[in-house]
Amino acid sequence: MLRRIEADVRPQIGAGQVAAYIPALSCVDPNRFGMAIADLDGKVYGVGDWRQPFSTQSITKVFALALALAQGGDDLWERVGREPSGNPFNSLVQLEYENGIPRNPFINAGALVVTDRLQTLTGDASSELLEFLRQESGNPDVTFDPEVAASESDHGDRNAALAHFMASYGNIANPIPALLDHYFWQCSIEMNCADLALATRFLARHGLRADGTRLLPRRLAKQINAVMLTCGTYDAAGEFAYRVGLPGKSGVGGGIVAVVPGVCTVCVWSPGLDPQGNSVAGIAALDRFTTLTGLSVF
């Protein structure tokens, strides 16, 4: 089936624009395509460049959210909402009208609040996240890309603006330069499709980690899936629900993870992005996946 999907979406591989907002991302080959499926027991099936590491970017926001909820519980929701944004993912407008409370944990402002919370809870947000991803993927080579982190930092004025703006409303607890560093490191983590499909499994397993211990209560795991469905693909969450019908989270590196609760996880990667910042071939592949399997939640 993965080979059939790859064949079906071949015309769209290379379409769209590779992310160019930082130099470190702009030189990726737009013709790459990989896809991996992990079942509940950790067996992985892949096609194409599914073993090729890429920059996870915003996909790591899901794992940071899970860790912050696992360690700190529902208090987080007093500082960040759970509603779709209806605006581009780094908008200040809405933040101003809503007194420094970001709409959801997957827009940049909300992810900064999550990282700030995780930093308070753990003292080292980005290391905690990296360790989690290594354990869940079973791949000890998962690591930061210092070049990407530095490039993010060099072009980080908008995230700095978001952090200072929320701080002016009392919604940031840690010093902003350190917070931004953790945030940029978090965005720079490199993983491949297999790693990401495996690391996302706890959401298909209703909160159980790879080693069988419980990360999150069943309720919270379902709720993260709900937030992914309504908010996980920037300003195109409605379109993603409409076409794919699964909880998913995309990154401007071209990756997308999706969850079929109780069944499996999927990760697809192709660097060409649509105007909303989601992988063109990636969404097409997930669309084919749910069409062929009937595995949409709807």
How many residues lie near its own copies (CB under 8 A)?
Answer: 50
As measured in angstroms, the least distance from the Cβ of 39 to its own copies is 18
Decide: is 28 part of the binding site for its own copies (CB under 8 A): no
Residue span 3-22 as binding mask against its own copies, x where in contact by CB under 8 A, dash where not: --------------------
- Token pair 């737009």 in the structure block, residue: 30
Going from the C-alpha of 51 to that of each of 69, 124, 167, the distances in angstroms are: 30, 29, 40
Q: Which stretch binds its own copies (CB under 8 A): 34-42, 56-64, 75-83, 123-131?
A: 75-83
- Structure-token pair, residue 264: 């499996």
Among 15, 92, 121, 295, binds its own copies (CB under 8 A): 92
Among 15, 40, 121, 161, binds its own copies (CB under 8 A): 161
Instruction: Tell me the catalytic residues.
Output: 58, 61, 183, 234, 252
Nearer to its own copies, 120 or 135 (CB): 120
Decide: is 175 part of the binding site for its own copies (CB under 8 A): no
**139 belongs to an annotated ligand binding site:** no
As measured in angstroms, the least distance from the Cβ of 115 to its own copies is 17
Among 6, 116, 181, 235, binds its own copies (CB under 8 A): 235
Count other Cβ atoms within 10 Å, centred on residue 74: 10
As measured in angstroms, the least distance from the Cβ of 243 to its own copies is 8
As measured in angstroms, the least distance from the Cβ of 14 to its own copies is 26
Footprint on this chain of its own copies (rule: CB under 8 A): 81-87, 91-97, 103-104, 155, 157-158, 160-165, 167-168, 219, 222-223, 225-227, 229-231, 235-239, 241-242, 245, 247, 261, 291, 296-298
